[in-house]
Structure 1
């Protein structure tokens, strides 16, 4: 049996929470930045408003 503790993790820059690798991110784990769609949208809004 696999354990979640062995999965790689990253920190979301928007909510600053750790999130773990998911099977759907297997091909592009290096390019995954945000933990969720909600954080991805908020991150782009923050970047746009700071311009």
Structure 2
């Protein structure tokens, strides 16, 4: 069993908070930039 501390992580491009790998992101982990749907929506609304 893998512990949460051993999973790869990233920093969210919108809020700047760290987040860790999830099973649903297994095939697209290199493309994941946001920690949640809310942050992805915020990025679309911000100009620039």
Q: TM-score surpassing 0.5?
A: yes
> In structure 1, what is the equivalent of residue 8 of structure 2?
8
Per the normalisation by structure 2, the TM-score is: 0.91
Aligned pairs, number: 48
What SS does structure 2 have at the residue aligned with 1:27?
coil
Deviation of 1:22 (Å): 0.1
In structure 2, runs of 5+ residues without a counterpart are none
Would you identify which runs of 4 or more consecutive aligned residues in structure 1 move more than 4 Å? none
Deviation of 1:19 (Å): 0.3
Per the normalisation by structure 1, the TM-score is: 0.86
Look at both structures and tell me which one has the larger radius of gyration over its CA atoms.
Answer: 1
| Bigger fraction of residues in helix | 1
Q: What RMSD over aligned residues (CA atoms) do the two structures have, in Å?
A: 0.9
In structure 1, runs of 5+ residues without a counterpart are none
